Every structure is written in structure tokens, then in C-alpha cells.
Structure 1
Amino acid sequence: MGPVELLHMSVFSQSFSPCGRFLAAGNNYGEIAVFSLSAALSPDATPLSQKPVLRFTGTCTSSYRYSLYWYLYDEDFPSQDNSLVFGGGDNNVHILDLEHGVFKSVLQGHTDYVHCVSVRDREAEILSGGEDGAGVQRQTSFYQDMILAVGEGPSVSHCLLGGEVKAQIPCSPQSLNTLQLNTSSTEHRVLTVGGSSDLIDVFTNLSYRTFSLSF
């Protein structure tokens, strides 16, 4: 991918692996990249450690955004597998088997692009929301007694539960689309933020950006 494409790249979605050691992210060119957090956070990390360990194009053509959800069925269930669920601009939800690198199924029903997906692991139930129903303008996450929020503008807002903005932490992208808290691993517990850039900011401390992953 050339410098012009990188200049116009936006990251729309992220999902941590169930083990907490990997991060999947989707951009506006229909690409999905998988980053190794264990490598990027290592004391021996190099610039190469902040690049994807796996990168592929989804089933949609370019200029489509993806919503992502990475899940692993419980080992007590016979249908256990390691899958990435994502929706995008083709109005469908796709399930990718990460162990074998093949698409397992396509779920139809939306009439416009899919904003978000989530999975109830034990019931193997996939929930999705799209432009045909309700649009997502901001993304929020709860952390202790705060709400972390992103939207228009280059900062993560730390808000009190009553709505008061306590702090705004600068980020690399000028407009933010997605944030994720990694709660699956205490060793790799980070906040990641993506938006109108090829960079994904990583926070090991919520008060400042530690480094950035890049497509």
C-alpha cells in the first residue's frame, strides 16, 4: 500500500483475542490486520513488532468499513473454534475460521452496512447492528468509575458517570472511531484507539499514549 492510501486510511473497528495477546483491526480499504500485543509490549520490541503479524482483505471490496468481534468457544462445548466475526459494507456478517484461514458462513438480513457485531459465546448467538437500524456516532467504554469516550476530535475523553469531562487525552488520529479495553489479560492490559489514520494508539496508562501500532 502506497503513501497516498496510508494518508487516507481510517481504522473503524478493533477486537482483542480471547487470550488477550492479539488485536484485530479493520480499515476503510476492507483490510483486517492482526497485531501481536505480546511482541509490541515486549522489552525487546522493535518497530517491526508494531506492524501486523497477519494482514488480509475481507470479502468486501475496497472503501468498506468492518466491525469486528473475535471469539473462542468454551472448550467444554463440542463446537469449539477460534473465529473472527465481522460485518461490513456488503451488508452481511461473515465468520472467519482463524485456525484454517477459511470463511465458514455468511449471515444475511441487513439492507445497509453493518456497524457493530457482538457474540454471546456460550449460546453461540451473534448480534449485529447496521445503518438500516441505528447508526453509531460515538463509542464508549466503562473503566472503574469513569466512562471513556471517543468521537469527533483527536482525544479520548475521561468522563464521570454524571457526564462531566474529567480529562481529554491527545491521540495521533485527528478524528477517532473506535476504542477497546483489553480486559482478557492482566499482562497485556491496554487501551487501544483508532480513527482517521493508519495508526492505532496504545495506552498502557490511561493518562498518555505509550506507542502506536501501524498498518
Structure 2
Amino acid sequence: MVDSLKDLKLFYNTVLCQTFSPDGKHLVAGNIYGDIAVYDLKKTLGPNQTPEDELLGPTYKFTAHSDQQVQSMVSTDNFLVTATTGEIVGWDWSVVTSNKASKIKSSWTIQIPVDKDSSEKSDVNYMVYSKDNHVLYVGCGNNKIYNVNLDNGKILKSLDGHESYIHSLALMGNQLASGSEDGSVRLWDLRMNENINVLQPYLVEKIARPKLGKWIGAVDFSEDWLLCGGGPSLSLWHLRTMEPATVFNLPDQGIHDAKIFEDRVITGGTIPHVYHLNYQGEVVAEVPTSSNTVYSIVYQETPQSLLSIVGSSNNIDICTNFNYRELILKFA
């Protein structure tokens, strides 16, 4: 029975994003109420005194964006970077992962430009970070991708071309991939800051799912492959030929995250499972999830092998063996 405002918030909680600390010892997640939950993985995965019928909660917690969603987050060597409508904020990792976290103050804030034609602030839907040049690539609700220099907080350039808001980004060396509500996947050469290729999966009959729309909710790529999905079915494309090699047959109602991991694909969306598939489209593992819709999947291999799944619930699903769920944490 939902009998208080707190219980109501937990009942409707959605966790949109997550990341690991630079040393891999902490997992951090952000929700729709602007809160950040921090988990010390050694304590979380070790023996604990929590009753069997009670889920383990965060080690530390703080509010990053009061009365706003934590829409995306990313980790740099020194900062946890979180984003909400109109701004990006940096938080010192040494404080985030300490018992001082509840009283933390932001280290810096970067404002997203407001379009001349609109007074509305733009959502920051996705961020990726390049360690090589200390640049943050920011996919926004105003159809733009901003290149932000984190050394001085200045926006270096915007990548323009998408006709609707950005859902997802993936970074590999000097190449960036972006997926948008407009149904396209764009590839960018970051040395020239130019769009070098455009895919429109919804125009391919065997991939299109018109009832679910043309939006692209997830992108990832490797040296040989491009992975994308959303309204259209999840599909794997040859980067050299820009032709689809595999169309994954899944019972989802939309894809929100997809990763290329070694010789497999890991994906989730509007379906209460995360799927592991080989490149031929065969299901390797089917992991049940606490959330009916999965919004974020993150993983690391060192110092602790761990895959974490969050979405439309107050729970976080943890897999130390990627193929099955080992335990469930609670956000709050």
C-alpha cells in the first residue's frame, strides 16, 4: 500500500543514468527526482547484515539537481559529471565517494546555450567524454551536439545536422556516432568536426517498425561494426559498407540502450529483460530485470567484474557474471 509521499516517490521512481568512479570501486546512479545514489562496491558485494527480505541501499546519497531529473552522467578522472535541463555540473569524486557526500557542493557548472528562437532551456540527454583531449560531447534536446572543453568550461563547437533531439552518443577515437529522434544515425569526424555519414534504419524494410516510430534510442560502434536501435529493430551494420548485417529479433517495444561487448551485443529497452546476443542474432543470455523499461546498462571488468541495469523502478540489477542477475539493490 502506497501510504506516504516518500513511498509514492519510490513507487514511481525511475533511474535514468549511471556510471562508475574512475577507480571502479563505486557505482553511481541518478534518478528523475534529481538524486544521486553512491554504492561502495566492496561493501555492497561483500557480506552484509541486511535482512534477507530487505534490499541493500546506497552507501551515500545527495541531491544533484533539486526538482529536476538527472538526465545523464559521465565520469572523468576528477569529476562525476551530471546533467539536467540547461546545465552540466561537476562534482569532486573524492567527496562523492566519502561520508561528506550528503553535504557536497558542486565544483563547477556549465550552462547550455539557449537558442535565439526559444527561451526554453535544452535537455541534456546524453554525454560521452574523451580522455585524450578532455572534451565532453553533449547530445541535447535542441538537436545539437556540443563539444565542451572541460579544462576551461568553454563550448568549442556545436555539431549540427540532426533535425530532432539527440538520444544517444558513442565515442571511438576521433569518431563520434549519434542517434536521434529524427530516425538517423550520424557519424562525425571529430578532427574536422564534420558529418561523414548518415544512416536511416527506418527506411530499411526488414528493420523498420512503423508502429514504434523511427527514433534511434541507442548507438554503439567498434572498428568494424555499428549497432543501433530504437523504434526500428536493433541492427548491426558493417561500418565499411554501411549495410545491415544482422537484424535482431527481440520482443521489445523500443530499444533504449545497446552495447558492443567483445563478441556479443548487450541490449535493453521497453521489455523486462536485458538480452545478450551474438553477432548472428542468437540469444546467449536473457537476464530478467526489475524494470519494465531499461534505460541504462553499464559494465566494467576491473577491479570488479560487474554489469548494472537501471530503469523504470527503484531497483538496480547487478550481474557479476554478466549472464545472470546476482543481486538487486535499491536506489532509496
Match in the other structure for 1:201? 317
Instruction: Give TM-score, length-normalised by structure 2.
Output: 0.56
* Residue 75 (structure 2) aligned to one of 66, 70, 75: 70
When structure 1 is superposed on structure 2, of 98-107 and 114-123 the one drifting more is: 98-107
Residue 44 of structure 2 is aligned to residue 40 of structure 1 = yes
Shift of 1:152: 0.6
TM-score, length basis structure 1: 0.85
What's the CA shift for 1:162?
4.1
Q: Is the contact between residue 201 and residue 212 of structure 1 (CA under 8 Å) also seen in structure 2?
A: yes
Instruction: Write the distance in 1 (CA, Å) between the matches of 2:66 and 2:8.
Output: 21
Moved over 6 A (4+): none
Q: Identity over aligned residues, as a percent?
A: 26
Larger radius of gyration: 2
Distance 1:22 1:118 in 2: 19
- Residue 5 of structure 1: SS of its match in structure 2? helix
Out of 161-170 and 202-211, give the one that drifted further: 161-170
Structure 1 residue ranges without an equivalent (≥5): 73-81
- Which residue, out of 291, 300, 303, partners 1:182? 300
The corresponding residue for 1:11 is: 15
**Contact 1:86–1:95 (CA<8 Å) still a contact in 2?**
yes
| Number of corresponding residues | 201
The CA deviation at 1:98 is 3.2
Tell me the distance in 2 between the aligned counterparts of 1:132 and 1:159.
34
Q: Deviations over 1:109-162 (max 9, x none)?
A: 354211111222242211111222212422112222101011111100112224
How far, CA to CA, are the matches of 1:173 and 1:49 in structure 2?
15
Unaligned runs of 5+ in 2: 96-103, 114-120, 144-165, 169-216, 218-255
Q: Which residue of 2 aligns with 1:86?
A: 82
Distance of 1:115 and 1:152 partners within structure 2:
18
- C-alpha distance in 2 between matches for 1:122 and 1:196: 34
Asked if 1:31 corresponds to 2:63, the answer is no
Which residue type is aligned with residue 93 of structure 2? L
Q: CA deviation at 1:164?
A: 4.5
Residue of structure 1 in register with 2:92 after alignment: 97
Q: Which residue of structure 2 aligns with residue 127 of structure 1?
A: 137
> What is residue 154 of structure 1 aligned with on the other side?
272
